[in-house]
């Protein structure tokens, strides 16, 4: 079903992995897609199969307020103002706390959490004018299970959860919802590359899950599609674990 006919969606981290899969699913739902990523998003553009007036890619450092502002200008002028913001970009360098530098801490926060601040500042005003909007960020179920060597990552993803709870309260009167999705470790290009020599991390994830198979991007995108839809209009301020039953709230 084309549940998002002509809605304008901005997806960060859309060049590959989960972000690419999200772009494809929401394009199939009938949306116009703006892909924001530092990487080339040509593969995602081709995968979505949209006409040139319904999709764009913009090189964008999500930790940069200036890049986000430039993204907003291009989206507005090409597709129209953003209806649905999906923040999927993120980094996850493992590092024991004893070895964690403030420089690395700040780098992770700038990409994973500060970026959400800049994105919301840029795109919420347009949603307020329309009196309709969806803000969806990809958090992580590590906020609940707290694995070692990820203090910086877990803290940044927990910050996303807190931010969206407050956004939900402040913007409900404008028809805007704000929710997060908390996946388990998901087999995407980025995760595969990063953990190529650490199969035990994927094995450990399977031990925690009720559903004993690795998570794929396809397992996550349905939740994004639902939260972006009209059917989810009465759901806000929530975090949805999509993790094979690892976390039970």
Active site residues: 153
Q: How far apart are CA 187 and CA 195, in angstroms?
A: 10
Q: What angle in degrees, to the nearest 10, is found between the helix axes of 217-228 and 17-28?
A: 50
**Across the strands, what pairs with 181?**
138, 240
Phi first, then psi: what are they for 244, rounded to 5°? 65, 20
Q: How far apart are CA 223 and CA 242, in angstroms?
A: 8
CA 99 to chain centre: 28
Contact 86, 12 (CB under 8 A): yes
């Amino acid at each position: 079903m084309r549940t998002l006919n002509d809605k304008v969606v901005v997806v960060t981290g859309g060049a590959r992995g989960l972000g690419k899969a999200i772009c494809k699913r929401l394009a199939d739902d009938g949306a116009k897609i703006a892909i924001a990523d530092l990487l080339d998003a040509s593969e995602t553009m081709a995968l979505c199969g949209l006409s040139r007036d319904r999709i764009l890619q913009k090189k964008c450092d999500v930790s940069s307020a200036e890049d986000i502002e430039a993204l907003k200008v291009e989206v507005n002028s090409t597709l129209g103002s953003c209806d649905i913001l999906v923040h999927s970009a993120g980094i996850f360098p493992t590092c024991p706390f004893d070895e964690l530098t403030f420089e690395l801490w700040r780098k992770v926060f700038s990409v994973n959490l500060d970026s959400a601040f800049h994105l919301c500042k840029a795109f919420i005003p347009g949603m307020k004018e329309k009196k309709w909007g969806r803000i969806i960020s990809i958090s992580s179920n590590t906020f609940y299970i707290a694995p070692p060597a990820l203090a910086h990552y877990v803290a940044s993803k927990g910050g996303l959860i807190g931010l969206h709870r407050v956004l939900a309260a402040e913007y409900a009167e404008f028809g805007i919802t704000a929710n997060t999705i908390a996946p388990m470790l998901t087999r995407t290009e980025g995760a595969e590359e990063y953990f190529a020599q650490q199969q035990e991390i994927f094995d450990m994830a399977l031990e925690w899950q009720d559903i004993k198979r690795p998570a794929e991007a396809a397992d996550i995108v349905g939740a994004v599609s639902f939260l972006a839809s009209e059917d989810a209009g009465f759901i806000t301020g929530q975090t949805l674990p999509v993790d094979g039953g690892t976390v039970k709230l």
